[in-house]
Amino acid sequence: MLGKEYVEKVIKEVEERNKGEVEFLNAVKEVLISLAPVFDKHPEYIEEGLLERIVEPERQIFFRVPWVDDEGKVRVNRGYRVQFNSAIGPYKGGLRFHKTVNQSIIKFLGFEQIFKNSLTGLPIGGGKGGSDFDPKGKSNREIMRFCQSFMAELCKHIGADTDVPAGDIGVGGREIGYMYGYYKKIRNAYEGVLTGKGLSYGGSLVRTEATGYGLVYFTEEMLKDKNLSFKDSTVVISGSGNVAIYALEKAHQFGAKVVAMSDSNGYIYDENGINLEVIKDIKEVKRGRIKEYIEKVPTAKYFEDHRKIWEVKCDIALPCATQGEINKESAETLVKNGVKAVSEGANMPTDLDAIEVFQKAGVLFGPAKAANAGGVAVSALEMSQNSVRASWSFEEVDNKLKNIMKDIYLNAKNAAKEYGDEGNILMGANIAGFLKVAEAMYSQGIV
Ligand code: NDP
């Protein structure tokens, strides 16, 4: 059987077995289509049912999360943990707290995580979890009670050598702290079971900055290949959370001007370049809305529809909010306005039609599983430090992160060339990430 035929057969089976799971099906299609040439070279993987196995999570846990709000009312949310693939290491991947969370979203994120984690070159498998809990407008005490109830169940399924969750949308340092404290209380074990921890209890320097910094390091490598750079470029970054803020910080350090950022309500435009300290104060300290920026910087403008951020003219676009942010129409607008590179800080922010628009127009495209792997890479470095009870300096971790992002780019670039589509970093990242996991699964037999 040819690779293309095999891939099409498996995609059809996945569609039949996972009806209605739109995000998961899109993620599977994006990866599998680019893997076809691998099976022409490795027919033995077809014999071993490698794809049929890799698209099925090893384990999925769904659970009830009851908690009591500040008025004494009982609330019930759903908790998820998908342990997707442990061929190359313990499951690793973030927890997302957002009202849109469902089975399809957690599965798509967990599936992507397998290849992303493999690309880092570190020994970590793929997993993801979260809840449809909406942290917006909740008090600290409500957040704490929710996190404790969530961990009361999750703690039965995770462990420092089994599954090590981290943060994602809606889960930052505060939530990790509450969950870690409760895990320790129940299990009576002081171990690196979560990453993204505070520095006083086992966290790593650079973890907070890692995804945003890593995104800029990766993108700079990609730009360098075409004699381009962040220096003197105009940049648009969607979102204003953890990834977006540290992408802004590093892009500034690299000499770029970031002119627009957003949240789920709207976007701001500041032609003089967005002020990092003002954004940090609004989002990290006050947990406010992005429109408050114009109170502090009256020359900036605020627009109500966050989707329109892609109408702002830029050289480099960094989508850093959530999945499905850039559709065909937004991609066409970006191309018309002369965008040179699009690099994904968020997971799957660009839909398949939009990717095609960028590829046809010759726009450099940095796919999420490569471009935003810096976060999980430093999480894995946090696990290493926890294992040997050590704390490395900021410079040491930052240098490791830089080298990891450089290697990811090179591996993706080389794999694209080897498998016949030079310059297609999306295809190269999928193949490079897949090969290591495939080799491990092949060696370990049918499990
Ligand atoms: P945060 O919760 O810190 O920030 C998310 C940002 O995106 C906020 O500005 C939020 O706005 C905005 N946003 C969320 N949902 C929507 C939506 N439906 N429409 C428009 N805007 C939205 O999350 P992170 O920065 O950690 O994560 C952002 C993305 O990066 C996600 O896709 C995540 O999976 C990915 N990622 C994160 C990593 C990490 O280390 N944190 C690692 C790798 C990937 P608002 O405040 O209004 O909700």
DSSP class per residue in 94-138: EEEE-TT--HHHHHHHHHHHHHHHHHTTSS-EEEEEEES---TT-
Q: Output the CA angle 168-172-173, nearest 5 degrees.
A: 145
Pocket test for ligand 1, best of 124, 168, 289, 325 (most atoms within 8 A of CB): 168
**pLDDT single digits (tens) 108-140:** 999 999 999 999 999 999 999 999 999 999 999
**pLDDT single digits (tens) 272-314:** 999 999 999 999 999 999 999 999 999 999 999 999 999 999 9
Query: Could you tell me if 116 and 171 lie in one domain?
Result: yes
pLDDT, position 243:
97
Of 29, 41, 73, 128, the catalytic one is 128
Q: Strand 59-68: give its sheet, edge to edge.
A: 59-68, 74-85, 125-131, 91-97, 163-166
pLDDT, position 427:
97
Whether ligand 1 lies within 6 angstroms of the CB of 279 is answered as: no
- Identify whether 146 is part of a domain: yes
**Locus of tokens 């019930």:** 76
Query: Could you tell me if 162 and 127 lie in one domain?
Result: yes
Residue type, 261: M
Domain total in the chain: 3
Q: Which of 341, 409, 338, 403 is nearest to 371 (CA)?
A: 409
167 alpha carbon – ligand 1 mean position (Å): 10
Whether ligand 1 lies within 6 angstroms of the CB of 120 is answered as: no
Query: Could you tell me if 175 and 299 lie in one domain?
Result: no
Last residue of a domain, one of 323, 340, 362: 362
48 alpha carbon – ligand 1 mean position (Å): 37
Q: Please, are residues 1 and 45 in contact by the beta-carbon 8 Å criterion? A: no
pLDDT, position 1:
74
Backbone angles phi, psi at 169, to 5 degrees: -55, 130
Last residue of a domain, one of 126, 159, 190: 190
pLDDT, position 39:
96
DSSP class per residue in 265-278: S-EEE-TT---HHH
Query: Could you tell me if 251 and 353 lie in one domain?
Result: yes
pLDDT, position 303:
98
- Identify whether 382 is part of a domain: no
Can you give the residue range of the structural domain that contains 84? Answer: 59-190
Active site residue 128: yes
Pocket test for ligand 1, best of 263, 303, 308, 382 (most atoms within 8 A of CB): 263
Query: Could you tell me if 184 and 226 lie in one domain?
Result: no
Query: Could you tell me if 252 and 330 lie in one domain?
Result: yes
Query: Could you tell me if 43 and 108 lie in one domain?
Result: no
Backbone angles phi, psi at 239, to 5 degrees: 85, 170
| Residue stretches of the annotated binding site for substrate | 92, 113, 116, 167, 379
- For the chain, list residues with pLDDT below 70: none
- Identify whether 374 is part of a domain: no
Whether ligand 1 lies within 6 angstroms of the CB of 167 is answered as: yes
